[in-house]
Amino acid sequence: MANKSRILVTGAGGFIGHHLVKRLKADGHWVRGVDLKYPEYGTSAADDFQVLDLRVWENCLTATRNIDQVYNLAADMGGIGYITSFLADISKNNILINAHMLEASKQNDVKRYLFSSSACVYAQSKQKNAAVTPLKEEDAYPADPEPGYGWEKLFAEELCRYYYHDYKFETRIVRFHNVYGPLGTYDGGKEKSPAAISRKVAKATDGGTIEIWGDGDQTRSYMYVDDCVEGLVRLMASNHRDALNLGTDEMVSINHLVDMICGIAGKKLTKEHDLTKPQGVRGRNSDNTLLRKVLGWEPSMPLEKGLAITYKWIEGEVKKKEVGELAEVTGD
């Protein structure tokens, strides 16, 4: 493959896609970005940005014309509250996007296609303990993924394999474990836990309270967005066609995540646990054995350092919003 490629990033108006476009441009590639919306924070670095609904077949054909590589990050998704509430819509929307994008990419002679899957594909039976055994790629089977979002991701992984089996169409499959960082959604219901907690801490008064979904003992690992982008670029360049974890193996409880963010903010807050809210699987962590073997690399940003950068950005956004709302009230 040529050093400089014509690359399509779908979901380029979203968090990971926005950062990926910047990285690919910095590497000297020509980049087309496609999304239902423009980036929420800042402008896209893409050479060509198109607002297209990729649930529509013709739009996928348009998006993939004269393209060498596709990073298909487009998805209807969000935090645990969102993905547990809209099972039919999420499944329908993402199946349409993924089936259309694969076929359009094949028809338009795309050389390589990367599909963004999720740790939500992993069997729920293997995630019932907070001290979870890190999840290896083969732990997705026997299949018992999260309803809706997890099932459609697992099916789309299989579809990628079928396209290689039947057509020798080169596909890559990445399984994201919670990605966080600046320029991401932090309110509105689609935000992930680091962003949601950062927002709550930023809005809280020192000495006040913070609401936590569940008992807070559920565990996760979190990957900084720059590490995520690096992993995507490396996987696309590799010859690995099977699903690959992309995450850190630094596991923390939600309670500890809250403590870390409070420490970064210099605030002491009392946790109030809401056991009626969704909290997802009890424990989830990434086994990076295969990642290290395939890419000779793994994410390296320490959680506390990445959270400090993320919190500072979210705190700034919260303050800007509060100033704007105050101006509306006072008429300034």
- Residues labelled catalytic: 149
Cis peptide before 182 (omega within 30 of 0): no
Please state, in angstroms and rounded to a whole number, the distance separating the CA atoms of residues 44 and 259: 34
Please state, in angstroms and rounded to a whole number, the distance separating the CA atoms of residues 115 and 72: 5
CB atoms within 10 A of CB 231: 22
Contacts of 79 (CB under 8 A, 6+ apart): 189, 190, 191, 192, 193, 196
Contacts of 35 (CB under 8 A, 6+ apart): 10, 11, 12, 13, 14, 17, 49, 51, 52, 74
What the block records as the tokens of 4 is: 């400089």
Please state, in angstroms and rounded to a whole number, the distance separating the CA atoms of residues 12 and 10: 5
* CA-based torsion, 49, 55, 58, 64: positive or negative: positive
Q: Exposed, middle or buried: residue 324 (CB in 10 Å: 0-12, 13-18, 19+)?
A: exposed
| Residue the block writes with tokens 């979870």 | 132
Q: What is the 3-state secondary structure (H, E, C) of 249-311?
A: CCEEEHHHHHHHHHHHHCCCCEEEEECCCCCCCCECCECCHHHHHHHCCCCCCCHHHHHHHHH
Contact 179, 15 (CB under 8 A): yes
Please state, in angstroms and rounded to a whole number, the distance separating the CA atoms of residues 182 and 305: 12
How many CA atoms does the CB half-sphere of 302 hold within 13 Å?
4
CA distances (Å), 309 to each of 236, 248, 258, 298, 301, in order? 27, 17, 15, 20, 11
